[in-house]
Amino acid sequence: MNDRSSDLKGVRLDSQEDAGRHVVRTRGISKAFGAIEALVDLDLDIPKGCVYGIIGPNGSGKTTTIRILNGLLRASSGQAWLLGEAVPVSESIHRIGYMPQEMAIYSDLTAVENLELFAGMYSMRRERFEERADYLLDMIDLKDRGGSLVSELSGGMKHRLSLACALVHDPELVFLDEPTVGVDPELRNGFWEHFSRLKAEGKTIVLTTHYMDEAVRCDMVGMMRLGRMIAEDTPEELMASTGALNLEEAFLQRSRRVEQ
Amino acid sequence: MNARRVLAIALKTLRSLRHDKRTAGFLVFMPLFMIAIFGYTFGGEIENVDVVVVNLDVGSANGSVADMIIGDLASRVTLRLTALSSPDEAVEAVRLTDAWAAIYFGPEFTEQVEEGIAVSALGLFAVPSVVELHLDASNPNIAQTVVTELQASIQVVLVEHYDMNPPVAVVEDRVYGEGAEFIDFFAPGVMGLAAMMVTFMLSIISFVRERSTGTLDRLLTTPVTEGEIVGGYAMAFGIVALIQSTVILVAAMLLFKVTVEGSALLALLTIFLLGVGSQGLGFLLSSIAKNEFQAVQFIPLILFPSILLAGVFWPLEAVPDILRPVSNFIPLTYAVDGCRSIMVRGWGAGDVWPQLAVLAGFAAATLMLSAYSLKKRG
Ligand SMILES: Nc1ncnc2c1ncn2[C@@H]1O[C@H](COP(=O)(O)OP(=O)(O)O)[C@@H](O)[C@H]1O
Ligand SMILES: [Mg+2]
Q: What's the CATH code of the domain at A101?
A: 3.40.50.300
Helix (H) or strand (E) holding A25: strand A22-33
**From the list A106, A118, A123, which residue is nearest B16 (CB)?**
A106
Q: Whose CA is nearest to atom 19 of ligand 1?
A: A59
Within its chain, how far is the Cα of B201 from the centroid? 21
Q: Is residue A75 domain-resident?
A: no
- What whole-number percentage of chain B has pLDDT above 90? 57
Q: Give the DSSP letter string of B57-107.
A: ---BTTB-HHHHHHHHHHTSSSEEEEEES-HHHHHHHHHTTS-SEEEEE-T
Ligand 1 — pocket residues by CB below 6 A? A 33, 36, 38, 56, 58-64
Q: Is residue A82 domain-resident?
A: no
Q: Give the DSSP letter string of A202-238.
A: T-EEEEEES-HHHHTTSSEEEEEETTEEEEEE-HHHH
Q: Is residue A41 domain-resident?
A: no
How far apart are the C-alpha atoms of B302 and B355, rounded to whole Å?
A: 20
List the domain range (segments joined by +) for residue A130.
49-67+91-259
- What whole-number percentage of chain B has pLDDT above 70? 99
**Whether B172 and B190 share a structural domain:** no
How far apart are the C-alpha atoms of B259 and B344, rounded to whole Å?
A: 8
Is residue B74 pLDDT above 90, yes or no?
yes
Residue B377 pLDDT? 60
Q: Smallest CA–CA separation between A95 and chain B, in Å?
A: 10
Beta partners for residue B60, in sequence order = B63
Residue B119 sits in a domain whose CATH number is 3.40.1710.10
Q: How far is the CA of A208 from the centre of ligand 1 (A)?
A: 14
Q: Smallest CA–CA separation between B233 and chain A, in Å?
A: 13
Residue A255 pLDDT? 82
More confident of the two residues B169 and B88: B88
Is residue B246 pLDDT above 60, yes or no?
yes
pLDDT digit string, tens, across residues A125-175: 999 999 999 999 998 889 999 999 999 999 888 999 999 999 999 999 999
Residue A137: which residues within 8 A CB-CB, separation 6 or more? A111, A112, A115, A143, A146, A164
How far apart are the C-alpha atoms of A165 and B179, rounded to whole Å?
A: 59
The domain total for chain A is 1
More confident of the two residues B61 and A204: A204
Q: How far is the CA of A67 from the centre of ligand 1 (A)?
A: 10
Q: Is residue B357 domain-resident?
A: yes
- Among B115, B150, B176, the domain-final residue is B176
**Whether B317 and B346 share a structural domain:** yes
Q: Is residue B7 domain-resident?
A: no
More confident of the two residues A210 and A230: A230
**Whether B190 and B60 share a structural domain:** no
- ipTM of the complex as predicted: 0.88
User: What's B170's DSSP letter?
Assistant: P
Phi, psi of A217 (to 5 degrees): -85, 0
Q: What does pLDDT average to over chain B? A: 90
**Whether B213 and B347 share a structural domain:** yes
- Asked which of A53-62, B92-101, B254-263, B275-284 is least confident by mean pLDDT, the reply is B254-263
Mean pLDDT of A188-215: 89
B72, B157 Cβ separation under 8 angstroms: yes
Mutate to test the pocket of ligand 1, among A37, A54, A55, A64 (most ligand atoms within 8 A of CB): A64
Length of chain A: 260
Q: Is residue B94 domain-resident?
A: yes
**Whether B269 and B230 share a structural domain:** yes
Q: Is residue B8 domain-resident?
A: no
**Whether B133 and B154 share a structural domain:** yes
- Among B141, B176, B211, the domain-final residue is B176
pLDDT digit string, tens, across residues B114-144: 888 888 888 888 888 899 999 999 988 899 9
Residue A201: which residues within 8 A CB-CB, separation 6 or more? none
Q: Smallest CA–CA separation between B374 and chain A, in Å?
A: 11
Nearest CA in chain A to B23: A108
Q: Is residue B34 domain-resident?
A: no
Q: Whose CA is nearest to atom 25 of ligand 1?
A: A59
Q: Smallest CA–CA separation between B8 and chain A, in Å?
A: 6
List the domain range (segments joined by +) for residue B328.
181-377
**Whether B244 and B325 share a structural domain:** yes
**Whether B172 and B213 share a structural domain:** no
How far apart are the C-alpha atoms of A146 and B135, rounded to whole Å?
A: 70
How far apart are the C-alpha atoms of A99 and A171, rounded to whole Å?
A: 12
Q: Which residue, B334, B306, B308, is CA-closest to B319?
A: B308
pLDDT digit string, tens, across residues A1-38: 343 343 433 344 444 445 557 899 999 999 999 999 99
- Residue B114 buriedness (CB in 10 A; 0-12 / 13-18 / 19+): middle
Length of chain B: 378
Q: Do A72 and B222 touch (CB under 8 A)?
A: no
Mean pLDDT of A179-203: 86
Residue B233: which residues within 8 A CB-CB, separation 6 or more? B9, B10, B13, B203, B206, B207, B279, B283
Tell me: cis bond preceding A88? Omega within 30 of 0 counts.
yes
Residue B270 pLDDT? 95
Residue B24 pLDDT? 85
A192-213 core/surface letters (b: 16 or more CB in 10 A; e: else): bebbeebeeeebbbbbbbbbbe
**From the list A72, A94, A96, which residue is nearest B377 (CB)?**
A72
- Among B176, B209, B229, the domain-final residue is B176
Residues B9, B15, B21, CA angle at the centre, nearest 5°? Answer: 150
**Whether B67 and B189 share a structural domain:** no
Q: How far is the CA of B218 from the centre of ligand 1 (A)?
A: 18
Q: What does pLDDT average to over chain A? A: 87
Mean pLDDT of B160-186: 83
Residue A12 pLDDT? 43
Is residue B378 pLDDT above 60, yes or no?
no
Interface of A with B (CB under 8 A): 33, 67, 70-74, 93-94, 96, 98, 100-110, 113, 116-118, 120-123, 149, 165
pLDDT digit string, tens, across residues B306-357: 988 998 888 888 888 999 999 999 999 999 999 999 999 999 999 999 999 9
pLDDT digit string, tens, across residues B174-205: 888 887 888 888 889 988 998 999 999 999 98
Residue B376 pLDDT? 65
**Whether B244 and B186 share a structural domain:** yes
- Asked which of A116-120, A180-184, A201-205, B139-143 is least confident by mean pLDDT, the reply is A180-184
Residue B43 pLDDT? 64
Q: Is B292 near chain A, with CB under 8 Å? A: no
Kindly indicate the confidence band of residue A53, based on its pLDDT and cuts at 50, 70 and 90. Answer: very high
Residue A9 pLDDT? 37
Q: Is residue A8 domain-resident?
A: no
Q: Which residue, A184, A178, A192, is CA-closest to A100?
A: A178
The domain total for chain B is 2
B307-341 core/surface letters (b: 16 or more CB in 10 A; e: else): bbbbbbeeeeeebeeeeeeebeebbbbbbbbbbbb
**Whether B188 and B323 share a structural domain:** yes
